[in-house]
Chains A and B, each alone.
Chain A
Amino acid sequence: RKEVEQDPGPFNVPEGATVAFNCTYSNSASQSFFWYRQDCRKEPKLLMSVYSSGNEDGRFTAQLNRASQYISLLIRDSKLSDSATYLCVVNIRGGADGLTFGKGTHLIIQP
């Protein structure tokens, strides 16, 4: 199973700032892409799917660059509640296959 790589951080960011994370994946045939967030000792929760055209959900924007095999997540106007680990997740063969997770990027929003 191919790897997904992320900068583990931590990213310490003041409340209200904009923060961006990238993730790279090694299998060029990967089919679908997601960002999940994980709070300490909790389950991964879907934040958003990532589409080739890029997509936005409120303060969150996700981008996919297939040519360079990276995925990005941008968080605007960060809130204290955004503090979590952000997991880059790839479905290599698509369909209902198992997911490949990155180790996550730890984000700390400071008041």
Chain B
Amino acid sequence: EPEVTQTPSHQVTQMGQEVILRCVPISNHLYFYWYRQILGQKVEFLVSFYNNEISEKSEIFDDQFSVERPDGSNFTLKIRSTKLEDSAMYFCASTGGGYQPQHFGDGTRLSIL
């Protein structure tokens, strides 16, 4: 069964540094997403991406964040000037569109020190 893959599985970074989280969505999917989950809290939507542009973003997704699809397979989330409160699990998801459910990668655990 095709799956969403994410790298790295765990990223440890000093506060103030930039991180790039990587995702390879399911190959025939057209819509891509990033979510985060702070430990003990609910999964929160960050951003959706379609046709090489952001289609929706939440209030969490401010100027500190950016997304990119640099080639035909990867989808990245960049976080600049990381803060302690950016520590969380970051999940990538994709879907073929319409009312199809989204499928999630196994996440990147980001730890900001």
Contacts and interface: CB of A to CB of B under 8 A. Distances in A.
Nearest to A31: B99
Interface string B1-39: 000000000000000000000000000001101010000
**Contact residues of B: prevailing secondary structure:** strand
A29 to B, nearest CB: 14
A57 B30 CA distance: 27
Contacts of B35: 98-99
B42 A104 contact: yes
B105 A95 contact: no
A49 B101 contact: yes
**Contact residues of A: prevailing secondary structure:** loop
Nearest to A49: B101
Interface stretch (A18-26, A40-48, A60-68, A73-81): A40-48
Nearest to B43: A101
A29 B55 CA distance: 20
A96 B103 contact: no
A76 to B, nearest CB: 22
A55 interface: no
Interface in A69-111: 87, 91, 94-104
Given A41-B89, A95-B97, A96-B97, A101 B106 contact: no
Nearest to B103: A46
Contact of B48 (A31, A96, A101, A104): A96
A32 interface: yes
Contact of B31 (A31, A94, A96): A96
Given A34-B101, A95-B99, A96-B50, A44 B55 contact: no
Interface of A: 1, 31-32, 34, 38, 41-46, 49, 87, 91, 94-104
7 contacts: A38-B43, A43-B106, A95-B99, A96-B55, A97-B55, A98-B48, A99-B35
